[in-house]
């Protein structure tokens, strides 16, 4: 196969499985010996990642790159939109913050981005055998078509064939597929070379008459009916189902994560879902915190707004009550800022409020500045062995920082970590804070729990305090666990699609 082949996955709506199926195709093509990369011209998500170069990109293209067994690159997601409220979004272009825009402003700005997208795509295409392109939402959003750069507009830029995905689990799959196709322009319909029906439960033979009628009506073949699969792969969007349930309900250690309105990087807690001793659940204003072993305040795209939410919803009182009842409290990035005495925003970086009182569980103070920190780091724990951090001193941590605020420690807080490497270069400065008893800590480092040995020590400390023995189940690394999930996903998709036909489509 010559370099520069492509195929694009579009869907009848959001959350029909485009991101996962893109990852599946990346792994399938990689297994078959091709150099493959994912690409999504424009992504909207609060879950982001920092590359080795210090550039910001969406998490979906990160796990797709992992499935393809290549390093994540911001070129795989040149435009990232991070909503900061109902009206505005932070626009990130080529991994760097460009500006804050309203939806109308950004819609008018999009045509200026086409040449940049085309240049980045062509470079990716020329250096790889196959590019698997992911669309966003639906290509039948006809009110947005004139300035589209992510669905059929992207298919035109890349001159790519399209596979259209419908989600049968949500119902109405035939109507949504037919309606989507009929709303496309004639030249756009010609790009759609196949249909995939996703998340099917039951006997496929029952579908046969409907599949035949759909093919007759559209003239487009159905190339696969993919069964519903249960894969523990990182989600990109806040519509994730993991927010709706307890995970590992038999776990001996309970971790409760506050589901903030602007929660970001909830992938930080993926590791807790694979630890057999941990029961993790997400808490909203409709829930009461049930005196868990650990309460985590996660990252936030709008710290001040989410701090007000904690106060107004009553969750602040619940967190303080849990602390007084013996729970350990952890804050990550925005959550770390909320744990302090106050948050100051004199330049109006996040809010019109110049300052707001924090939860007061850490003797720290945060001030927002205009420049965003985006970096990968390596660190070691320097806090003395106390409380939840017993036996953790000198543990190695790897992760990344994405934040606007700078946090200063008071006399009753001690630094958590010493940063030893930044963007691959040696450095030395401290991060995070811990109270003197080791019961509350915060850090700017996303991915801190991905280091299994560090996280197992924290969970082990709680088990020991409760007089419980740790599970005897052998624990693999998070990296290996995720790779196994990508393999399971690829196997399921490969077994339920006409892969030969898809390769024919790739060859044109």
Residues 373, 426, single domain; the answer is yes
Task: With respect to residue 244, please indicate whether it lies within any of the assigned structural domains.
Answer: no
Domain that holds residue 114: 5-233+483-506
Torsion angles phi and psi, residue 302, rounded to 5: -145, 85
Q: Are residues 82 and 227 in the same domain?
A: yes
Whether 26 is catalytic: no
On whether both 180 and 315 belong to a single domain, the answer is no
Catalytic residue among 262, 333, 392, 403: 333
Indicate whether 101 belongs to any domain: yes
Same-domain check for residues 176 and 290: no
Identify whether residues 325 and 214 lie together within a single domain.
no
Q: Based on the domain organization, do 160 and 281 belong to the same domain?
A: no
E strand or H helix at 405, and its extent?
strand 396-409
Co-location of 489 and 367 in the same domain = no
Name the phi and psi angles at 269, rounded to 5.
Answer: -110, 10
Tell whether 248 is covered by a domain.
no
- Residue 77 sits in a domain whose CATH number is 3.40.50.300
The CATH number of whichever domain residue 395 belongs to comes to: 3.40.50.880
Number of domains forming the structure of the chain: 2
The answer to whether residues 197 and 281 belong to one domain is: no
Q: In this structure, is residue 379 part of a structural domain?
A: yes
* Measured distance CA(250)–CA(230) in Å, rounded: 19
pLDDT tens for the chain, 508 residues long, are 778 899 999 999 999 999 999 999 999 999 999 999 999 999 998 889 999 999 999 999 999 999 999 999 999 999 999 987 767 899 999 999 999 999 999 999 999 999 999 999 999 999 999 999 999 999 999 898 899 999 999 999 999 999 999 999 989 999 999 999 999 999 999 999 999 999 999 898 999 999 999 999 999 999 999 999 988 887 665 445 556 656 777 789 999 999 999 998 989 999 999 999 999 999 988 788 888 999 999 999 999 999 999 999 999 999 999 999 999 999 999 999 999 999 999 988 887 789 999 999 999 999 998 789 999 999 999 998 899 999 999 999 999 999 989 999 999 999 999 999 999 999 999 999 999 999 999 999 999 999 999 999 999 999 999 999 988 777 788 899 999 999 999 999 999 999 999 999 999 8
Q: Is 4 exposed, middle or buried (0-12, 13-18, 19+ CB in 10 A)?
A: middle
User: Would you say the C-alpha torsion 77, 62, 240, 24 has a positive or negative sign?
Assistant: positive
Q: Decide if 333 is catalytic.
A: yes
Q: How far apart are CA 233 and CA 270, in angstroms?
A: 9
- Ranges of H-type helices in 302-354: 303-313, 315-324, 334-338
The Cα 100–Cα 91 span in angstroms is: 6
The pTM of the full predicted model, rounded to 2 decimals, is 0.91
For 328, list phi and psi in degrees, rounded to 5: -85, 145
The dihedrals phi and psi of 88, each to the nearest 5 degrees, come to -120, 155
Residue 242 located in a structural domain: no
- Tell whether 245 is covered by a domain: no
């Amino acid at each position: 196969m010559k370099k520069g082949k492509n195929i694009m996955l579009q869907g009848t709506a959001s959350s029909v499985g485009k991101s996962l199926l893109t990852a599946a195709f990346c792994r399938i093509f990689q297994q078959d010996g091709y150099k493959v990369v994912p690409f999504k011209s424009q992504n909207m998500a609060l879950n982001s990642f920092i590359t080795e170069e210090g550039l910001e990109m969406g998490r979906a293209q990160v796990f797709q790159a992992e499935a393809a067994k290549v390093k994540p690159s911001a070129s795989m997601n040149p435009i990232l939109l991070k909503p900061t409220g109902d009206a505005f979004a932070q626009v990130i272009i080529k991994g760097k913050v460009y500006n804050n825009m309203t939806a109308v402003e950004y819609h008018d700005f999009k045509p200026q981005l086409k040449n940049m997208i085309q240049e980045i795509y062509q470079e990716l295409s020329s250096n790889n055998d196959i590019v698997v392109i992911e669309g966003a939402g639906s290509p039948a959003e006809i009110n947005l078509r004139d300035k589209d750069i992510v669905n059929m507009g992207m298919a035109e830029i890349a001159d790519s064939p399209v596979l259209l995905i419908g989600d049968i689990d949500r119902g109405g799959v035939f109507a949504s597929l037919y309606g989507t196709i009929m709303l496309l322009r004639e030249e756009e319909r010609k790009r759609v070379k196949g249909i995939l029906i996703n998340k099917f439960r039951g006997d496929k033979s029952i579908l046969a008459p409907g599949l035949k009628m759909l093919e007759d009506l559209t003239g487009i073949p159905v190339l696969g009916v993919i069964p519903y699969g249960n894969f523990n792969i990182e989600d990109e969007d806040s519509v994730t189902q993991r927010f709706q349930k307890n995970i590992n309900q038999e776990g001996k250690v309970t971790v409760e994560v506050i589901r903030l309105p602007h929660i970001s990087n909830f992938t930080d807690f993926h590791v807790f879902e694979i630890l057999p001793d941990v029961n993790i659940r997400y808490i909203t204003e409709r829930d009461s915190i049930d005196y868990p072993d650990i309460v985590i305040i996660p990252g936030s795209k709008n710290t001040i707004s989410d701090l007000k939410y904690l106060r107004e919803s009553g969750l602040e009182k619940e967190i303080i009550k849990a602390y007084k009842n013996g729970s350990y409290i952890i804050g990550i990035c925005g959550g770390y800022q909320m744990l302090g005495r106050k948050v100051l925003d004199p330049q109006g970086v996040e809010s019109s409020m110049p300052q707001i009182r924090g939860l007061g569980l850490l003797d720290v103070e945060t001030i927002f500045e205009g420049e965003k920190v985006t970096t990968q780091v390596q660190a070691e724990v320097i806090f003395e062995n106390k409380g939840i951090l017993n036996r953790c001193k000198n543990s190695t941590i790897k992760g990344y920082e994405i934040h606007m605020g700078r946090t200063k420690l008071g006399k009753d807080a001690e630094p958590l970590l010493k940063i030893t490497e930044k963007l691959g270069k040696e450095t030395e400065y401290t991060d995070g804070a811990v109270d003197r008893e080791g019961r509350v800590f915060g850090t700017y480092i996303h991915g801190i729990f991905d280091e299994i040995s560090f996280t197992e020590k924290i969970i082990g400390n709680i088990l020991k305090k409760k007089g419980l023995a740790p599970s005897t189940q052998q624990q693999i690394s998070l990296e290996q666990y995720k790779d196994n999930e990508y393999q399971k996903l690829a196997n399921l998709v490969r077994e339920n699609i006409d892969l030969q036909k898809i390769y024919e489509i790739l060859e044109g």
